[in-house]
Structures are given as structure tokens and as C-alpha cells.
Amino acid sequence: MSLCAVRRNWQKSRAENENAADADTRHFSTAGRNGRSLPRGGALLSSRGISCGVALFLHSIGWGLTLRSRLLRAACPTGIPLNKWEKDLAGLRCEDEWDRKVFDLTQQKSPAPVFLVSEDLRHQVRYWKNRRNDCAHFKTNEIDHSHVESFWHFIFSNMGKFVPNGSAAALLNEIALHFDQDVTPPNTPLDPIIERIPHCVEREELSNFFNDMAAGGSIAVIRFRPSSGHQSSQSCF
């Protein structure tokens, strides 16, 4: 099921269960005033809690499967030994291990990061993993619609940033950052990035790559040389 389908189903369920949820909340409130103890995770047992908890859990699985797919299609990221990457891929293919492996790779910084993201984003991934665990293990933290909406916005704000280091998409991000003067000092050489294009982009995809680069406002060009296949230079695109 796609993330969009999960969201549509959750919104429908949320609307249908609103009245039932209010009734459950009144029941729990009355039980508390009468001194009867509620079961562990009782807040999640209301109609609203189940709906929101399931929605957040499914959103999280969809997020993880998307990253898994990107990783399985990626070449060995820059700076990571090939034998380690092959072990990572084996973990990603294992149905009992892929979820933990995806999370570990979002957090990895040594010997090199798989995802070129900020420490703040890594922290946010950890936060949402913990909220997903609240849903899966019926922990005491209440999950409501605000969590689902927040996670939805997190996904769509940051999904494009989680591309494997060394992939064409990651290279486009690096080029965009290179031309962002708030990030990269003026006159910083572009050549080290340009030289990696032949290793990150298939030759038949170069045209699409340059179109994407131009659409992003980047200025660069590749000059072809038959003897070696590619040769880079800085110029106007």
C-alpha cells in the first residue's frame, strides 16, 4: 500500500471514529474517577488511538520500505568498503532484519555516511522510530492525529534528502549545495564533484541528469572524450 493510500484510509477512519473516540474518552475518564485502573497502553485502545497508532505505524513502514528500495538499487556509497556494503545489502534483503538495517544506515557516520544528512535529521529519524515503537508495543505515550500529521510532514519535507551517498540523486543534492553560498564558500572548486559523475550516473541517464541539474539552477557541463568516455570541466550550462 502506498503512503498516499495509507493517508487516505487513515483520514477516512479518523472521521468515522471521531464520535466513538469521544465516547471512549468519557468512559476512560469516568473509570479513572471511580478508582478503576486502566490497562497499560489503555489510551491506545480507544478507537482514535487504534486508528492513529496504526496509521503512524504504516506510515513508518512505508518510509522504511522506500529507503530500503533506494538502498538496494544504489551502488556502493562513497567511502564504504565493498565487503561491508555487500553485508548491508544482505541485511536489507532479509525480511527479519531489513527494518533495523535501514534505521542503522540512516544513523551511520563511520567509516562514511550512507546518507548525507544533518545530525538534526538523524535525531528526528530516531524520534520517529521511538514513536513507531510506542504504537507497536503499546507503550504509555499516547499517539493521536497530531503525531500522524507531523510524521506525514516530516516524510514529505525530508524524503528527497535521504538518497544514498554516491547516487545520482545525492550528487544533484551536492551540486545544489555547492552553488548555495550560505553553505559553500565562493570559488570552491566544483571539479571533485564533476569527476564523480561518470561513477554515479549511467551514460544513458546523463541527459536526464543534466536536465535535472539545469532545472535546479546548477551551472556545469561535461565534455566527452572518446578515449576515456568522459572528461570534466567547469563552464556555463
pLDDT digits (tens, 9 = 90+) for 54-69: 888 888 999 999 999 9
- Report pLDDT digits (tens) over 78-118: 889 999 999 999 999 999 999 999 999 999 999 999 998 88
Q: From CA 191, how far away is CA 195, in angstroms rounded?
A: 6
Task: Give the percent of the chain with pLDDT over 70.
Answer: 67
- Which pLDDT score, from 0 to 100, does residue 74 have? 86
CA nearest neighbour of 174 among 195, 202, 144, 204: 195
pLDDT at position 83 is 96
**CA dist., res. 152 & res. 167, Å (int):** 25
3-state secondary structure of 78: coil
Q: Note if the bond before 111 is cis, omega within 30 degrees.
A: yes
pLDDT of residue 37: 41
Query: Alpha-carbon dihedral of residues 66, 72, 75, 79, nearest 10 degrees?
Result: 80
Could you tell me if 131 and 147 are in contact, meaning their C-beta atoms sit under 8 angstroms apart? yes
Q: What is the pLDDT, as a whole number, of residue 16?
A: 54
Higher pLDDT, 179 or 21: 179
Reported pTM: 0.60
